[in-house]
Structure 1
Amino acid sequence: MSSETHQNPQTGEEESSWGGDFDPFSDPEERRVLFAAFDSFRQYRRNAHMNTTHRRRQAFYALPSAHWQMLSEPPFSILDNFNKVDDAIDVNAEIADAILAIGLQSFDLPTNPDKNNPKENWHDTATSSDVNKAHSTIRQFYRDWSLEGRTEREVCYDPVIQDLHNEFQARRDSGEEIRILVPGAGLGRLVFEVCMAGYDAEGNEISYHQLLASNWVLNHTEGTAKHALHPFALHFSNLQSRAQQLQQIMIPDVHPALAMQEMANSGRRFGTMSMSAADFTVLYTQPNNQQAFDAVTTVFFIDTAPNLIRYIETIRHCLKPNGLWINVGPLLWHFENGHSRNESEVGHEESGIGEPGNVELSEDEVLSLVERMGFRLERRPEDRRACGYIQDPASLLQNLYQPSHWVARKIPV
């Protein structure tokens, strides 16, 4: 699949929604994946209520009567807490519903489709895996678009911006347009930050869940801190308190359109922003993308590769001579143990990320491969800053990454 959207840096308005030569309806498999993403956001509310509180109420009432009655009273008030979690689910579902509404509008699809028309009937197409992706996408707003998620972003995004400034700031200040590619763009925060830094950024994302959600947050939110989210409400383990579970945050911490306008009013340049919907290794090995970018930034991305060699070939193809590759992220290989590609957003099994085969490499092996394939490793900071990924800082269990950060330069032939 391939699509591109652009934003007007003066108004923040989306200039072209899902334009280009992209037509998901021309391919039945592509249409199925898109419809399943829509349906997963539609099912968010019902699924969360059913699997979070309904089944817990059933299990709670299965306790001996004297026991559940004791736990129903203060200071426990378990049943009251279930009600509060239900309220939090409804708040989160407002975001899911908004993402769905904007997505359907973008693709000119009806809210209540004709069930006898397979080309428009997107209802009841989502699998449990699709619904789980909707849940994780909603929670990801905590990491990418909340004030509270700043601690995670400063470990992963700030080093990238600093590396870009170290290389390109003088050229940017002289008026040169510097093009940056951000594969695995997710909810678009790094793309936005690169543009805020004055560079032109093109995000690339294969997941419809992420694309639909990033379109909403970048183009359709009502203002700064206008949308409430309870990121940890559906989790009942490792809690210090119920207040921790029910914590409410407000998103976005920065309103994209307002930030763009403020930059324009102050005479600073907000870079051109675009987003492509495509398999990274397919789109960016095309002739029109050869030597098209000054830098490629991969943040929590390279471990999504079944075959890292394909990613490196793609990055080398689309980088200009002497262009930079900036990487920050772990090596949590997504296809370890032959993880099924049916769980990805792939519609074409014999190309791109759907190509057969996979291999997992150590960090040392990754760096050796990068150098073997035409790059010179220029910077590898020794200090490793740990960070979570949508991690509740108050949780009794802390899952932390120590991201690998390095900068490599494409060696001209």
Structure 2
Amino acid sequence: MNYFLLSLRLTLFPYHKRSELNLILFQGEAERESCYSETMRILRERFPDKQTRSDIEVLVPGAGLGRLVWELVTEGFSVQGNEFSILMLLTSNFILNKCKEANEYMIYPFVLDTCNNWSYEDQLRPVRFPDVCPVMPDDRPNKFSMSAGDFLEAMRDDIERWDIIITIFFIDTAINVLDYIDTIHKILKKGGLWINFGPLTFHFADGEADGAIELPYDSIIQYIMKKNFRFERDERANKSNPALYACNQKSMLRYQYNCGFFVCTKL
């Protein structure tokens, strides 16, 4: 099977929990803006000299199809994405390594969505991807990599390695979110920055895993503080700028979250 057919099949595969494909491919500017914009602004302000950003090592757990990782690399940072899902990894490999120009391929992402359509034209409309050319120069000074596997296992030996860890729509993928926090504390350098944005739609709340726990946001913040993190920002339920969720712009139905957002430093 060639890469395009593989990508097409993966695109139409019924993704569990969250449609990452919408975030990176399907006219997802609004979703990316709501999820990424404040994080990118903070990093640009904190590291204004783009020429020295290659020395800053950034980890993005739950990287999905790698759009945030790619955006950070284009800003000059050295970045590694970590992803568990083989579907995400295969599709991100196709986009990042096989696509050579913007709007190179066309797919029909909404053809199986039979509900909440205004017309057949909306349901059957094609979408071209990727929206930008993902090719980057080989002689760039910064690093770009992806690691495959469970976050806790993949980062087991990365003791105080990372300058920045960015978790967007990620911490609620844990069986036990406290394990994620412990690992982030272990692998982040002293003085390192942790930026988080997302809801708490715990993926194992339906009893799929032994030992799964679902904590409220406030309890998570308290535990992070006990791990010797200093909070710079802690913003909750920003109703003026909700995060859109797997949004089909021409559907009758839209999902959105009032997400928690925090920035903290490891002391």
TM-score normalised to structure 2 length: 0.90
Consecutive unaligned residues of structure 2, counting only runs of 5 or more, are none
Query: What is the letter of the counterpart of residue 183 of structure 1?
Result: P
Q: CA deviation at 1:329?
A: 0.8
- Distance in 2 between the 1:132 and 1:371 partners? 40
Q: What is the SS of the residue equivalent to 1:157? A: helix
Residue 134 of structure 1: how far off its partner (Å): 3.1
1:145 is the counterpart of 2:16: no
Letter paired with 1:365: S
Q: Against the structure 1 CA distance between its residues 283 and 364, is the aligned structure 2 distance closer, same or farther, given a 3 Å change threshold? A: same
Q: Which residue of 2 aligns with 1:61?
A: none
Counterpart of 1:208? 86
How far apart, in 1, do the equivalents of 2:40 and 2:252 lie?
Answer: 32
- Conservation of the 8 A alpha-carbon contact between 2:176 and 2:211: yes
Cα separation, 2, equivalents of 1:140 and 1:175: 27
Offset from partner CA, 1:216-250 (integer Å, 9 cap, x none): 10001242101112221111111111111112111
Tell me how far 1:149 sits from its aligned partner: 0.6
For 1:223 and 1:283, the matched residues in 2 are separated by 32
1:409 Cα deviation after fit:
0.8
- Post-superposition CA distance 1:339-397 (Å, at most 9, x none): x25xxxxxxxxxxxxxx401101111111111122211111246442132221122222
Are 1:226 and 2:95 an aligned pair? no
* Counterpart Cα distance in 2 of 1:161 and 1:270: 20
Q: Give the Cα separation in 1 of the matches to 2:264 and 2:179.
A: 17
Q: Which residue of 1 aligns with 2:253?
A: 397
Does residue 368 in structure 1 map to residue 222 in structure 2? yes
SS of 2:64's equivalent? Answer: coil
Highest Rg: 1 or 2?
Answer: 1
Give the CA deviation at 1:167. Answer: 2.5
The CA distance in 1 between the partners of 2:141 and 2:12, in whole Å, is: 31
CA distance, structure 1, for counterparts of residue 265 and residue 251 of structure 2: 40
* Runs of at least 5 residues in structure 1 that lack an aligned partner in the other structure: 1-41, 43-92, 101-130, 342-355
User: Following the alignment from structure 2 to structure 1, what is the Cα–Cα distance between the partners of residues 244 and 7?
Assistant: 27
One-letter amino acid of the counterpart of residue 333, structure 1: F
Local SS of the residue matching 2:243: coil
Residue in 2 that maps onto 1:386: 242
CA distance in 2, matches of 1:149, 1:205: 20
Aligned with 2:153 (options 277, 282, 303): 282
Q: Which one has the bigger helix percentage?
A: 1
**CA distance in structure 2 between the aligned counterparts of 1:311 and 1:394, rounded to whole angstroms:** 36
- Do residues 256 (structure 1) and 134 (structure 2) align? yes
- Partner SS state of residue 400, structure 1: strand
Any idea what the Cα deviations from partners look like across 1:75-125, whole Å, max 9, x if unmatched?
Answer: xxxxxxxxxxxxxxxxxx98443578xxxxxxxxxxxxxxxxxxxxxxxxx
* Pairwise CA distance, 1:200: 0.4
Residues 1:157 and 2:36 are matched in the alignment: yes
Aligned residue among 316, 322, 332 for 2:201: 332
Would the aligned equivalents of 1:168 and 1:178 in 2 still touch at CA under 8 Å?
A: no
Shift of 1:168: 2.7
In 2, the alpha carbon distance for the partners of 1:175 and 1:328 equals: 22
Q: 1:246 to 1:175 in 2, by over 3 A?
A: closer
Aligned CA RMSD, in angstroms, stands at: 2.6
d(CA) in 2 for partners of 1:95, 1:290: 38
Report the 3-state secondary structure (helix = DSSP H, G, I; strand = E; otherwise coil) of the residue aligned with 1:136: coil
Asked if structure 2 preserves the Cα contact closer than 8 Å seen for 1:195 and 1:270, the reply is no
Query: In the alignment, which residue of structure 1 is the partner of 2:177?
Result: 308
**Residues 133, 407 of structure 1: CA spacing in aligned structure 2 closer, same or farther, 3 A cutoff?**
farther
Q: Percent identity?
A: 35
Q: Deviations over 1:16-44 (max 9, x none)?
A: xxxxxxxxxxxxxxxxxxxxxxxxxx8xx
Q: Deviations over 1:243-286 (max 9, x none)?
A: 111121110011111xx23x97xxxx563100001211112121
Query: Which residue number corresponds to residue 118 of structure 1?
Result: none
2: distance between equivalents of 1:247 and 1:303? 33
Number of equivalent positions: 264
CA distance in 2, matches of 1:175, 1:185: 20
Give the structure with the larger strand fraction: 2
Question: What TM-score results when the alignment is normalised by the length of structure 1?
Answer: 0.59
Correspondence list, 1:43-62, <5 A: none
- Over 3 Å counting, the alpha-carbon distance change for 1:272 and 1:94 in structure 2 is closer
Code of the aligned partner of 1:317: K
For residues 303 and 133 of structure 1, do their structure 2 counterparts lie closer, same or farther at Cα, with a shift above 3 Å needed? farther
- Give the C-alpha shift of residue 293 in structure 1: 0.6
Contact 2:11 2:21 in 1 (8 A): no
Among 279, 291, 294, the alignment partner of 2:160 is 291
